[in-house]
Structure 1
Amino acid sequence: MNKLDLNGKRAVITGGARGMGFAFAKRFLESGASVALWDISGDTLDTATKALSSFGQVSSQVVNVADYASVEAGAKEAAQALGGIDILVNAAGIAGVNVPLDEYPLETWTAVIDVNLNGIFHTCRAIVPYMKQGDYGRIVNIASMAGKEGNPNASAYSVSKAGVIGLTKSLGKELATSGIRANVICPAVIKTEMLDDVTEEQIGYMLAKIPMGRMGTVDEISAMVGWMCSEECSYSTGAVFDLSGGRATY
């Protein structure tokens, strides 16, 4: 593994206690950053914090990204613990259910939009002011190929991720003349715990579209996200980075 130059950087990672978020945190710590893990589960956070503490400075906050007051409080606590915030990676997300739109449960639709889209609006709104204090920041939002193409029987998830792409493009342009960069990454299928909530049929549909014929790994997405969070990613903002095993062709 090549180490990134994240020395002295202070990162908030939502959904940081497991899956992609945990892998990002480990890669960042190994590259010299300090990290604040955010998750809605205190027990999961405790386990993740213990597992990562040997790699560097780890703080953790129980945060519900769907609740702005919780996000605002978490941002204040993370900034105090780390001495500021330079990096925000929004990895928290839920899959919802796989059913046709005309059968989609109203409460599940609302939950998916609240976490996947409104949650990213909340974190960016709360954390960008901390980045403005030092005129430096890197924001990476995790979207999905579903947000670019739309996956059948996954309307809420597809809509939420399309919204994340639009939000990031808008924010990137707003901050373009500052030292803050905001970009979005669209992975295809990454092997994480989230797939436990996805049907085998849906996974098969997604894999069939990937020329490499396999899922991506958390190490592969961590490598790209790590670079997107580095000082070297200086001339890209409001941009969409694909990680799709060849699925994305535009």
Structure 2
Amino acid sequence: MAVTYDFAGKTAIVTGGSRGIGRAVATQLAGSGADVWVWDADPVPAAGIRSQTVDATKAFEIREALADVVAGAGRVDILVNNAGYLGPYLGFEAFEPVEWQRIIGVNLLGTFEVTHQVLPIMRKAGTGRIVNMGSLAGKEGLPNLAAYSAASAGIIAFTKALSREVCDTGIRVNCVAPGPIDTDLIRRLGNEVVSDMIGASPLKRLGSAEEVAALVLWLCSDSSSFNTGAVFDMSGGRARY
């Protein structure tokens, strides 16, 4: 039996919410009654979801979009930092610095910037749920994904640090660290790489975006009120710790 949540009266922002994991999260939140605002550099309209064109690395775009959310909803109860960029599957020495900077910028600095602007609204309300999307790469360091691994590790550490800074409030901050999930982001790596990923998984398959979204919804709910600063694996048993 599927678990259901009631997010009626809650306002949620999901970055990178037009595709893949982000879209699944936004769809499930909206289906559970939340007023969902998707921030994406290339938004795709979806029924029951408000979409805004936002580059998570640009402070002024975040500021303008957040003003619209506050004007329309008056609050932000849930923030899912999902905007991400995997980058090329290359050895570190083959990386161009511009690619490294883009990966760190979108994944890590984007999470910093969005959270920095949304957090004061949650702190004023005395409550909130922040879920940061990390990666198995951030825990284990994956070859040919050095920059992405570094950015994901930063997100994990940021989650733990921020959770302690706000532990005297009703704000909870957690991180989800997926392994290979069946999205366009992963499929672009090519069949050979994807096959290797499946072979490395004890469950011998890719995860689904809907499975990740189900975990995110739990973390956004009152059922997870005693969880903060935690990192939740979604790796099909591949994570070593």
TM-score (norm 1): 0.92
2:215 is aligned to 224
User: Does structure 1 retain, via aligned residues, the 8 Å contact 2:207–2:235?
Assistant: yes
* Alpha-carbon offset, residue 25 of structure 1: 1.0
Task: Note the 1:52-91 alignment, pairs <5 A.
Answer: 52-53=47-48, 58-91=49-82
- Check the 8 A contact 1:11/1:35 in 2, yes or no: yes
Q: Tell me the SS of whatever aligns to 1:232.
A: helix
State, as a whole percentage, how many aligned pairs show the same letter: 39
Letter in 2 for 1:221: V
The one-letter amino acid paired with 2:76 is: I
Distance 1:116 1:136 in 2: 25
Compute the displacement of 1:208 (Å): 2.5
Runs of 4+ in 1 over 2 A off after TM superposition: 199-209
User: Does structure 1 conserve the Cα–Cα contact (< 8 Å) formed by 2:187 and 2:194?
Assistant: no
Contact 2:8 2:34 (C-alpha < 8 Å) held by counterparts = yes
C-alpha distance in structure 2 between counterparts of 1:149 and 1:206, whole Å = 14
Distance in 1, Cα, partners of 2:100 & 2:63: 24
Letter in 1 for 2:106: V
User: Which position in structure 2 is the counterpart of 1:134?
Assistant: 125
**Displacement of 1:212 after TM fit?**
0.1
Structure 2 gap ranges (5+): none
The yes-or-no answer on 1:11 pairing with 2:33 is no
The separation in 1 between residues aligned to 2:100 and 2:161, in whole angstroms, is 24
Residues 192-201 or 135-144, more deviating? 192-201
Residue 21 of structure 1 pairs with residue 22 of structure 2? yes
The answer to whether the Cα contact below 8 Å between 2:140 and 2:239 also exists between their aligned partners in 1 is no
The separation in 1 between residues aligned to 2:193 and 2:140, in whole angstroms, is 14
The Cα shift of 1:33 comes to: 0.7
Provide, for residues 109-162 of structure 1, a one-character-per-residue CA deviation record: whole Å limited to 9, x for no partner.
Answer: 111100000000001101001111210100001111000001101111111101
Structure 1, unpaired ranges of 5+: none
Per-residue CA deviations over 1:173-218 (Å, capped at 9, x if unaligned) read 1111100000000111111121243243432333232100000011
CA RMSD of aligned residues (A): 1.3
Q: Distance in 2 between matches of 1:118 and 1:203?
A: 28
Partners of 1:205 and 1:150 lie apart in 2 by 16
**Aligned counterpart, 1:38:** 39
User: How far is 1:61 from its partner?
Assistant: 1.6
CA distance in 1, matches of 2:195, 2:150: 21
- Please, which of 74, 96, 100 is the counterpart of residue 105 of structure 1? 96
The one of 110, 115, 122 aligned to 2:106: 115
Of 123-132 and 195-204, more deviation after overlay is shown by 195-204
